[in-house]
Chain A
Amino acid sequence: MTDPNSQSHPAAGRVQKAPENFLDSVGVRAVHGEARAGRRDFIRNAFATALAAGAAPAVVAQVNPVPAAGGDASILELPAHTKGLGLGVATDGYGKPSKFEANVQRRQSPGLTQTQQSSVSFAPLQSLFGIVTPSGLHFERHHQGWWDIDPSKHRLMINGSDEKMVRTPMVFTMDELMRLPSVSRFHFIECGANTGMEWGNVTVPTCQYSHGMISCSEFTGVPLKVLLKMVGADTRRGRFVLAEGADGSSMTRTIPMEMVESGEVLVAYGQNGEMLRPENGYPLRLVVPGAQGVSWVKYLRRIEVGDMPYAAKDEAIHYIDLMPDGKHRQYTSIQECKSVVTTPSGGQVLLDKGYYQISGLAWSGRGKIKRVDVSVDGGRNWRTARLQGPVMDKCLSRFTLDWVWDGKPALIQSRAMDETGYVQPTNRLLRTVRGTRSIYHNNSIQTWLVQESGEVKNVQLS
């Protein structure tokens, strides 16, 4: 065995016994044929060939050893579910996760906020597969509490900042909006403050708290462009759009008309095949792909077309990025290319040496993910990970890479690159430009330290 980290030749740890399936079916037939012919040394050759060809290696120390009884009680003693009658259909009109999944919850970060209504809950990235966030685990950010709004009474108004900005200010019911031609698209939504607590130093233990203000869903709705055409918006003069919510804070944000004209911005009611969840803006929210979550105004009640940006509270007092010279960057919206390894990740324990699949998420507010590289030595050497398809625009991409842990400390990192060629920076590089006080838009490379004990720690490198 050569490089223990080589992707095509995962190294074995402590070799125990060879499993039967390290040969392919042709090989098995050949072995049996040769055995019948009495040529036992062929088996040795076949084993060597299989390893050289990069087939699965002999197993390492078993996490699941054979008990003294000669078999696993979970196999030998048939459980109740194998010997009894199960539950009937529609026991739950709306099915829930298994009771054994109760640990998988969105959670608040202790001490981060002093109210429940103006707060954040983080999605449990360490426990999620693929790219879609189950709607009930979608991260939450509320500015003045959430509501479950009666959709039959919800209205969307579209008007202009002056009388000539739109030909006819209009109002729409949900019935009307849902009659219009719709599109469904997968997009990530990330809070601008995601990873914001980590600008200066490590503050949180797991990827749930460090990166969990991101989620990804299939959203269904009407392109805002279509509605602006219906009201006769003057898009030559009106280069800005104000989106306003119907909740207590009536959250407002300015959106550039270019994004609306691209057709990407949706007035959305659907999320993962059903209606939006109340915590995510039921019955109507704006979807602004690539822009930070605060622009995706929930409980959307009004769109105004205007000829200047609005300096709303969440783009003039919050969601502004402090630079070392004491100035704040205003109207920062794009979520730049970023990635994080979710398994293994901080707060977890690797139970033994041997094979692991490193897996994580990558995304970019500027387009598609082009490549993700992974390092297990703190950024000295990198290998290109597999990207799981489909790779979509402004959407999460799942990457994986084979890794054999040799029991020594390892520093695991991922580095994403998007289709514009932008490469995810180290926190050192980002800090040289932005300092450590900007709170928002921290897209730096995350490092997890796998300790000899197997426990994984969130660390930052010098």
Chain B
Amino acid sequence: MSSSRKAILATVLALAAGAAFAQSAVFHGIGRPATPKELAAWDIDVRPDFKGLPKGSGSVAKGMDVWEAKCASCHGIFGESNEVFAPLVGGTTKDDVKTGRAARLTDPAYPGRTTLMKVATISTLWDYIHRAMPWNAPKSLSPDEVYAVTAFLLNLGGVLPDDYVLSDRNIAEAQKLLPNRNGMTTAHGLWPGKTLGNGGKPDVKAVACMKDCVAEPSVASFLPDFARNAHGNLAEQSRPVGAQIGANTTVPAGAAADAARERR
């Protein structure tokens, strides 16, 4: 390329760059660069590839101490409690650790789903304990304490041995032991982008039939009479004027309709 042509090309490129700059310069004076200190304070997310994970380590034993002081009151001594939140631990087996699939998820009769039955990424545990726990004092645990609590949880679930020390150096190895690490799929149509899933293709295809569509329908499920007031008196949960009014669920079915009419 001749030098004069190079000069013209350089000018064109400079103009193009200038145009791009001018575009954002429309909003001149709005926003400022974030400082490294600010970024460090807020950019706390940890991804499945462990980008964002701070250096550190914590043992199962130390995790037990932190757990009993700060976690057990909500989650139970063994992470089993259902009193405040859904149980964290339970429902996984040694075999699951080998296969990476929580087998009990295929059993509709198995009650409940614990966190360890579901979670496929250890980064999720680390990230969430770090950003949101304990419940009433989020972000108060040090990175070492987060490693320790994560190790203890996985030890409760029979995933890590009693003498394990979890750290940024071996967390990728611990990931390979998660009981449900192979339990996720993105083969569905509910991701609103092209990067995951099947591109938005729905999994059912209903037909908008208009006439004589189904066999005579029968009612398969309804709220039993003993539960009619379980959500409180529905008469007090609807506007008292209008086309319909709420049923008085403190009286038996049938009487409610009469009561509503009398109120008029």
Contact = CB atoms under 8 A, between A and B. Distances in A.
B240 A242 contact: no
Contacts of A115: 84-85
Contacts of B210: 373, 381-382
B72 interface: no
A205 B106 CA distance: 30
B238 A348 contact: yes
B216 interface: yes
B151 to A, nearest CB: 18
Interface residues of B, number: 107
A114 B85 contact: yes
B34 A423 contact: no
Contacts of B6: none
A455 B238 CA distance: 14
A459 B264 CA distance: 27
Contact of A351 (B220, B239, B261): B261
A258 B207 contact: no
B31 to A, nearest CB: 4
Interface size class of A (residues with CB under 8 A): 35 or more
B256 A168 contact: no
A185 to B, nearest CB: 16
A104 B240 CA distance: 10
A430 B206 CA distance: 9
A274 B218 CA distance: 47
B213 A320 contact: no
A352 B217 CA distance: 25
Contacts of A456: 244, 247
A327 B184 contact: yes
B106 A326 contact: yes
A201 B227 CA distance: 14
Interface string B238-262: 1111111111010001101110110
B83 interface: yes
A348 B186 contact: no
B11 interface: no
Given A430-B204, A449-B222, A328 B30 contact: no
A238 to B, nearest CB: 11
A304 B184 CA distance: 24
B194 to A, nearest CB: 6
Contacts of A411: 217, 219
Given A124-B237, A180-B30, A312-B127, A202 B221 contact: yes
A244 to B, nearest CB: 7
Contacts of A157: 34, 38-39, 42-43
B222 A460 contact: yes
Contacts of B128: 312-313, 317
B16 to A, nearest CB: 15
Interface string B33-48: 1100011001111011
A349 B246 contact: yes
A317 B116 CA distance: 9
A308 interface: yes
A169 B230 CA distance: 52
Contacts of B102: 326
A238 B58 CA distance: 33
A162 B258 CA distance: 68
A382 B197 CA distance: 34
Interface stretch (A21-29, A36-44, A245-253): A245-253
Contacts of A196: none
Given A114-B84, A462-B218, A168 B30 contact: no
Nearest to B255: A453
Interface stretch (B131-139, B142-150, B156-164, B166-174): B131-139
Contacts of A381: 210-213
B47 to A, nearest CB: 6
A380 interface: yes
Contacts of B39: 157, 159, 169
A321 B181 CA distance: 15
Contacts of B31: 170-172, 176, 230-231
B124 A347 contact: no
Contacts of B239: 101, 103-104, 127
B115 interface: yes
Contact of B231 (A103, A110, A425): A110
Given A103-B239, A239-B193, A317-B128, 11 more contacts: A161-B47, A168-B33, A202-B223, A250-B139, A257-B193, A313-B127, A328-B185, A330-B120, A351-B245, A356-B243, A453-B257
User: 10 nearest interchain CB pairs?
Assistant: A256-B193, A378-B217, A326-B106, A348-B244, A326-B105, A332-B190, A347-B234, A423-B206, A313-B128, A201-B221
27 contacts: A63-B264, A103-B238, A110-B230, A124-B238, A144-B132, A171-B38, A229-B24, A230-B31, A256-B191, A256-B195, A258-B193, A301-B42, A304-B45, A309-B48, A309-B196, A310-B48, A311-B47, A324-B106, A326-B105, A334-B190, A382-B210, A435-B108, A436-B108, A453-B257, A460-B222, A461-B220, A462-B218
Interface of B: 23-24, 27, 30-34, 38-39, 42-45, 47-49, 51-52, 83-85, 101-103, 105-106, 108, 113, 115, 118-121, 123-124, 127-128, 131-132, 135, 138-139, 183-197, 200, 202-214, 216-223, 227-228, 230-232, 234, 236-247, 249, 253-254, 256-258, 260-261, 264
